[in-house]
Amino acid sequence: MKNQIKNFLEILKLELEDLKDDLHTLKKECEHKLKEGLITNYVHMENMALYDNELHGLKTFQNIVNETESDKFDSLDNLIVHLNETFKITMKSCGYAEAGRICIQRKMLKVARYIKGTKSEGLNHF
């Protein structure tokens, strides 16, 4: 179980970096669309504000993951609940967008499914 928890955290860190890269790509695409005249300045500013908010939320969640001591958890499910609850509290106090939390939860679900070797059984609780 301890290896499962440690593996989950290490793979999740990689997935979160991938998410960060995706958000930076979206910002570049948004800049390109503005320059091409495909979106208005207003839409550009709204999109960039959302992407920046999501990046700040992601950085906060990465800090939570990095500060998490894997040996304090007896199951992967307990770890996931801890990560979710800790981030929900921080998210509300910092005003992070719900979209960022949803993306992070999808990454956690993906990693949990991989670690547990399942497709969806029992992992829809978060």
23's tokens: 């958000």
- For residue range 95-119, what is the model confidence (pLDDT) as tens digits? 999 999 999 999 999 999 999 987 5
Angle in degrees, CA 112, 54, 32, rounded to 5: 115
* pLDDT band (50, 70, 90) for residue 2: confident
71, HSE (Cβ side, Cα atoms, 13 Å): 0
pLDDT at residue 125 greater than cutoff 90:
no
Between these two residues, 116 and 1, which has the higher pLDDT value?
116
Query: Given this model, what pLDDT does residue 86 score?
Result: 96
Q: Return the amino acid letter for 87.
A: F
Mean of pLDDT over the chain: 93
With CA atoms as reference, report the closest residue to 61 among 22, 108, 126. 108
- For residue range 68-84, what is the model confidence (pLDDT) as tens digits? 999 999 999 999 999 99
**23 and 65 Cβ atoms separated by less than 8 Å:** no
Query: Given this model, what pLDDT does residue 119 score?
Result: 56
- For residue range 14-51, what is the model confidence (pLDDT) as tens digits? 999 999 999 999 999 999 999 999 999 999 999 999 99
Q: Give the mean model confidence (pLDDT) for residues 86-98.
A: 94
Query: Given this model, what pLDDT does residue 1 score?
Result: 72
SS3 38: coil
Q: Give the mean model confidence (pLDDT) for residues 57-63.
A: 97
